[in-house]
A and B are shown apart, each in its own frame.
Chain A
Amino acid sequence: ETGVTQSPTHLIKTRGQQVTLRCSSQSGHNTVSWYQQALGQGPQFIFQYYREEENGRGNFPPRFSGLQFPNYSSELNVNALELDDSALYLCASSPVAGGVQETQYFGPGTRLLVL
């Protein structure tokens, strides 16, 4: 197992609500990335944070936002939830950024269901 933890493990929300997912990175890692994985699909890159700044973003609308804290933990916020936001949300940490991405260490994920 990696040292990356995520909370909560499962979450049920209704359409239009807002949700916050949390991630604690592995010790010594200063970069956190978030991915969305729909059922039967591969993970899709949402964004990456390095030293509290966004360091790359995938093709997701602005209602997906994030934060990174001085201890390198991170939050993913999703506003105005839609049914298609139902997915497994994965957080991954890595020790470097600002260059080419090397190995990432994934947490167990948060499974979000939007009704």
Chain B
Amino acid sequence: SQQGEEDPQALSIQEGENATMNCSYKTSINNLQWYRQNSGRGLVHLILIRSNEREKHSGRLRVTLDTSKKSSSLLITASRAADTASYFCATVLNQAGTALIFGKGTTLSVSS
């Protein structure tokens, strides 16, 4: 079963615009991670945010976490065509969770 659900399922924007993807989850977590996947290949880690953190930045990426609402968002600012990919949130449950539990992902398409 999948704990996380990304929203929207698909997003199409123009270069230079911002892209926001949301992730909701069901049970308490230790941390939440965002990954990117290009063309059905391997996943690339973007950001890890812990349950006691509310916001993290990495370059053009900004991730927020609201544990009271069990939700997270990923913001990509000034999008580029190279950002076209699928984006997944993955949660790690509390107490020695060994697995990443992925949602179904958001497919982002950035056109020039």
Residues of chain A having any CB pair with chain B under 8 Å: 2, 4, 33, 35, 37, 39-45, 48, 55-56, 58-59, 88, 90, 92, 97-109, 111
B43: interface (CB < 8 Å): yes
**B80-108 contact mask (Cβ, 8 Å, vs A): 1 or 0:** 00000000101010111111111111000
B70: interface (CB < 8 Å): no
By secondary structure, the A interface counts as: loop
Asked if B98 contacts A44 (CB within 8 A), the reply is no
Residues of chain B having any CB pair with chain A under 8 Å: 1-2, 4, 30-31, 33, 35, 40-45, 48, 88, 90, 92, 94-105
Also in contact, A56 and B98, with CB within 8 A (given A103-B33, A103-B48, A108-B41): yes
CB distance from A15 to the nearest CB of B (A): 23
Q: How far is the CA of A26 from the CA of B19 in the complex (A)?
A: 32
Asked if B92 contacts A100 (CB within 8 A), the reply is yes
Most chain B beta-carbon contacts within 10 A, residue among A48, A97, A99, A104: A104
Could you pull out 10 A-B pairs where Cβ atoms are within 8 angstroms?
A33-B98, A42-B2, A42-B103, A43-B43, A90-B42, A100-B94, A100-B95, A101-B100, A102-B48, A105-B45
